[in-house]
Amino acid sequence: SLQPGLHATDRLNSLYGDNASEVAKGIPAQQLGDPSDFGRLCAMLCSDSARFVTGTSIPVDGGAYAGLQ
């Protein structure tokens, strides 16, 4: 499964408004993800390149989950 973090989307802007850049400071990568970051990984996992990938969870969050520990 893919585990999305915060990506620069209309939904995120509706939730955080002008504070989105402040929220990004709490992510170890110091930036919000671009929706294409998530999309490219999803496309790769749906391709033959990932034919042997099974049963894993992949965070796409700029290190945010690890930063919570």
Question: What are the CA-CA distances from residue 14 to residues 4, 10, 20, 42, 44 (Å)?
Answer: 17, 6, 10, 24, 29
What is the per-residue pLDDT across 17-51, written as a single tens digit (0 to 9) for each?
Answer: 889 889 999 999 999 999 999 999 999 999 999 99
Rounded-to-integer distance, Cα 10 and Cα 15, Å: 9
Q: What is the pTM of this model?
A: 0.80
Residues β-bridged to residue 4:
60
The one-letter code for the residue type at 31 is Q
CA–CA distance, 12 with 55 (Å, rounded to integer): 29
The label of the residue with tokens 């504070």 reads 19
51-65: per-residue pLDDT in tens? 999 999 999 999 998
